[in-house]
Structure 1
Amino acid sequence: MITLTGKRNDACFAEFVWEGDARIRSYRLGLEQLFHGRYLETMLVPFTGQAVLLIGCGKKEDFAPGLTAVKEVLAATAAKCRDFNIRACSMDVSCFTQLLGPEAFTAAVLGLGLGCYRYRYQPLENEEAWDCDFQLENGEAYADRLKEAQELLAGICFARNMVNTPGNHLRPMDFDRIITAYEKDVEIEAETLVYGQLRALKMEALYSVGQSSEYPPCLLILRYRGNPDSDEIYGLIGKGITCDTGGYCLKSSDSMGGIKSDMAGAAAVAAAMHAAAAQRLKVNVTACLPLSENRISQSALLPGDVITGFGGRTIEVLNTDAEGRLVLSDAVSYAVRREGITKVLDIATLTGAVANMLGNTIAGAMSDDDGFYALFERALEHSGERYLRLPFGREHEKMIKSDVADVKNVGGGCCGTITAGLFIRSFCEGRPWLHLDIAGTAWCGSPTYAYESKGATGAGVTTLYYLMKEASLPH
């Protein structure tokens, strides 16, 4: 739990120290030989009546990138409290807000919460639950920001929990029910199109992927109307493949460990939508989440098959492991034609190519509208996440043209991230489009940052939320 307070009143106080700070010498004679204030260095100094937990912040002039560094320092604080089984700790984060502004307060709250995050499907026998009451001093002016930060923290943890859940406990309809229940305490309308309805609507791209499994696919639609006076409706389309074997284009054995995590885009959208509604942002948003499994069976898609999407466009399926863009295409078409969205943002763990290109700390982004992308960039200033905008041209669009259908679902031996995005764009019917490929950043086998833990990262939650917040502001 994270609360605000006006003074130090706990048995432990966390002190943030810059490298070379003269205060180091004031705690104990010779302490400067043991603690230097280096980045993420920690030391617990016991005193009568109160312990001091020293947290190194590194050199002040090198404290960058700012918001990421704040989250890391506070996550290290939380982790050390856990190590020492400290149940209450107060701290003053004004050294960060004075340096980086009020956004540092939000980063501090996120860092503390994510530093405590652990996922286990079932707790170990006799495992004692650990919790800590973190009290932030001199924070009364940040009461509203604390509420927002805690909502974002809950959203990131929700997304992480969903992505970390074993696939046999998160079938498509399970995922649908969990998200629907999650959204019930805010003003979000939920509607589910089940398998029979998908067939009746001729959403062949979605149901052809899902019919390979005995666990049927569905399309979950979430509607939030925070600004009924506006005709602008942002469409958030999140990939929700809860099990991805690759189909007949079977994944390699070293890729099978991650087949449960191919629904991180849908999880991020659901979490960000909840946060936007909880904060009553003045923006209209409709999310369309195609939820499905991709398996091998007698009814599974085969390379060379041709299917027809909801919008009437024909698709040549050359790679059954490029199924994410198929289910997204029907969701985009439905959002455009039935939900009346005016802008399209899709987010997906879409291509291994983006991870090979950018690694696990930077995601890929594409857009055909500079104004929409500028809004996204303003959101990134608040979220601290990192994306690289990828270029594209007519030569890339030609790569997904099919000889036997309107479009094919893979483009060739190169530019895989770009052609995957352009495949989705071809179903947007001229709407401003923004594409986020988080295949490299949604999961970490070995954490890069102190606020990460092995497994899901919750990528995209904060950026989507801040994009909606930016959209709700007058410009």
Structure 2
Amino acid sequence: MSVVLGNVGNTEVIFVKRGEKGYPYEERVGTVFKAEYLDVLLLPLEKDKKVLFVGLGKENVKEPSTSMEISAKACKELKKYEISEYSFNVENLRLNKESFVNFAKGIYLSIKAKRSYKSDAKIEEAKVGIVGTNLDISPLLKKAEIISDSIIFARDMVNAPSNYLHPKEFTEEIAEFVKDTAIETEILDEEELRKLKMGGILGVGGSSAFPPYLVVLRYRGNPKSKENTAIVGKGITVDTGGYCLKPSQFMAGIRGDNGGAAAVVGAIAILAKLKAKVNVTAIVPTAENKIAPDSYVDGDVLTSYSGRTIEVCDTDAEGRLILADAVTYAVRNEKATRVLDIATLTGAVVGMYGFTIGGVVTDSDEMWEEFYRASLKTGEKHARIPFGREHEKMLESDIADIKNLGGKFCGTITAGLFIRSFAEKKPWLHIDIAGTAWVDTPDYAYQDKYATGVCTDTIAEWLMG
């Protein structure tokens, strides 16, 4: 698989704006090809040559999501016809460096092999050329491929069947993915978690036949700075809901509860491979939330790594329990100066924003502004959710320091605030990707069915910004 400067194969991809005149072969296709956004038409020519027309409508091709979609749509359309060598003519797109990277990401996300569990799976090779640009595309292609590789890694981890990706296997996948970078990897096993008294992680995963772990990835791209951002991702590899068993209609997706963990691993790998001048620590608590004779149940009180006690009101609110220990570890052991946590955390966020917008809860205007600007560059959508003291009161417990459920309402807010209470007053930002980490039907042409790899590149962009 490769993307190169120059012509490749006998098929050319041409982009056409709605109402545009004078483009090649207009006289042959003008009556049937209206060039609405993402319209496609394959025109056979002489001697096995072909042209694929892709409609742009009236869209701004420099908008990140658009530039990714138009290239991805072309790649996927040609794949239907088993055409694996072709060239993009990007002359009339007039892409700048930033939009070209997004355009190339659309290509890589569409043609790079995804992990398959079919016995007869074949790796399909593709060769793609780029013509019609004066940009030095070599470093731009490299950046796009690095970012895309991390997004694909995140998708593969979330898509993995739970019997292929127990916590131990997840830690091994993480270590393998970052092994040839400047990232330092430390893996804490169950014995070490017990010595540290990490009651949140152990409470959730300690009774599984496949024990929990904590993965710590350290990248120090700016040793002169004392700043160290912690990015903490929920890594539940299978979530039955515990004794608060999930309804049967939700059981099909219980393997995909590690999207936050996959995103932070992918993000720190991007930073290391691009040699970003930042200091970042990625922390992944990973466990299984299953049912066993000695599993935790509603009404239990767990003692977290911070020493604070937690009343368990719902065993299906397990993600915040493991994140509590991980966030405390980030602040106390890794000396994080600010904390971002990300998780497939609440169904409530899906009710608010559906499957294309992530919910953000934060106590730092500065972190929000930086993260929002980064999301504009990657094309992902996020919305900030306000909170107040009344929401913090919803987490007050009669028998412990805090409870892991806030009540019937404001579930996304209270889940985030639960995690915030373990950040020990460090600037904090929480992203709930329960709606955006997984799609049964892709919303954008550069997505595949199931895992999206959401926030992998936005977190990296935020930290490079």
TM-score range normalised by the length of the shorter chain: over 0.9
CA distance in 1, matches of 2:257, 2:98: 31
Matches within 5 A, 1:42-57: 42-49=40-47, 50-57=49-56
Task: Show the counterpart of 1:38.
Answer: 36
How many angstroms does 1:93 deviate by? Answer: 2.7
Task: Show the counterpart of 1:411.
Answer: 406
CA distance in 2, matches of 1:120, 1:233: 33
CA distance in 1, matches of 2:432, 2:110: 25
Task: Show the counterpart of 1:473.
Answer: none
How many angstroms does 1:315 deviate by? Answer: 0.5
Task: Show the counterpart of 2:372.
Answer: 377
Task: Show the counterpart of 1:344.
Answer: 339
Contact 1:191 1:221 in 2 (8 A): yes
1:131-167 Cα deviation digits (max 9, x unpaired):
2211122365232222111000101111111111100
Matches within 5 A, 1:442-453: 442-453=437-448
Matches within 5 A, 1:148-297: 148-297=143-292
How many angstroms does 1:124 deviate by? Answer: 5.4
CA distance in 2, matches of 1:212, 1:231: 39
1:264-307 Cα deviation digits (max 9, x unpaired):
10011111111100001000011110000001111111101111
Would the alpha carbon gap of residues 420 and 97 (structure 1) be closer, same or farther in structure 2, given more than 3 Å must change? farther
CA distance in 1, matches of 2:103, 2:155: 19
How many angstroms does 1:102 deviate by? Answer: 2.4
Contact 1:2 1:136 in 2 (8 A): no
Task: Show the counterpart of 1:3.
Answer: 3
Task: Show the counterpart of 1:96.
Answer: 93
Amino acid at match of 2:280: V
How many angstroms does 1:64 deviate by? Answer: 7.3
CA distance in 2, matches of 1:413, 1:44: 52
Would the alpha carbon gap of residues 204 and 224 (structure 1) be closer, same or farther in structure 2, given more than 3 Å must change? same
How many angstroms does 1:117 deviate by? Answer: 5.5
Q: Aligned-pair RMSD on alpha carbons?
A: 1.6
Q: Could you tell me the percent identity over the aligned residues?
A: 44
Matches within 5 A, 1:293-442: 293-442=288-437
Would the alpha carbon gap of residues 28 and 435 (structure 1) be closer, same or farther in structure 2, given more than 3 Å must change? closer
Contact 1:173 1:216 in 2 (8 A): yes
1:134 has 2:121 as partner: no
How many angstroms does 1:30 deviate by? Answer: 4.5
Amino acid at match of 1:18: K
Contact 1:325 1:423 in 2 (8 A): yes
Amino acid at match of 1:81: L
Higher mean Cα deviation, 296-305 or 421-430?
A: 296-305
How many angstroms does 1:311 deviate by? Answer: 0.8
Contact 2:231 2:283 in 1 (8 A): yes
Contact 1:319 1:410 in 2 (8 A): yes
1:398-440 Cα deviation digits (max 9, x unpaired):
0001111111000011000000000000000010001000000
Amino acid at match of 1:305: D
Amino acid at match of 1:188: I
TM-score by length of 1: 0.94
Amino acid at match of 1:382: K
In structure 1, the residue corresponding to 2:77 is in which secondary structure? helix
TM-score by length of 2: 0.96
Higher mean Cα deviation, 65-74 or 448-457?
A: 65-74
Amino acid at match of 1:70: S
Would the alpha carbon gap of residues 221 and 9 (structure 1) be closer, same or farther in structure 2, given more than 3 Å must change? closer
In structure 2, the residue corresponding to 1:57 is in which secondary structure? strand
How many angstroms does 1:94 deviate by? Answer: 4.4
How many angstroms does 1:465 deviate by? Answer: 0.8
Gaps of 5+ in 1: 471-475
CA distance in 2, matches of 1:52, 1:212: 59
In structure 1, the residue corresponding to 2:154 is in which secondary structure? helix
Higher mean Cα deviation, 248-257 or 136-145?
A: 136-145
Contact 1:2 1:109 in 2 (8 A): no
How many angstroms does 1:225 deviate by? Answer: 0.5
In structure 1, the residue corresponding to 2:254 is in which secondary structure? helix
Contact 2:115 2:156 in 1 (8 A): no
Gaps of 5+ in 2: none
Would the alpha carbon gap of residues 97 and 428 (structure 1) be closer, same or farther in structure 2, given more than 3 Å must change? farther
How many angstroms does 1:224 deviate by? Answer: 0.4
CA distance in 2, matches of 1:385, 1:409: 29
Task: Show the counterpart of 2:74.
Answer: 77
CA distance in 2, matches of 1:64, 1:12: 22
Number of equivalent positions: 463
CA distance in 1, matches of 2:81, 2:74: 11
Contact 1:4 1:139 in 2 (8 A): no
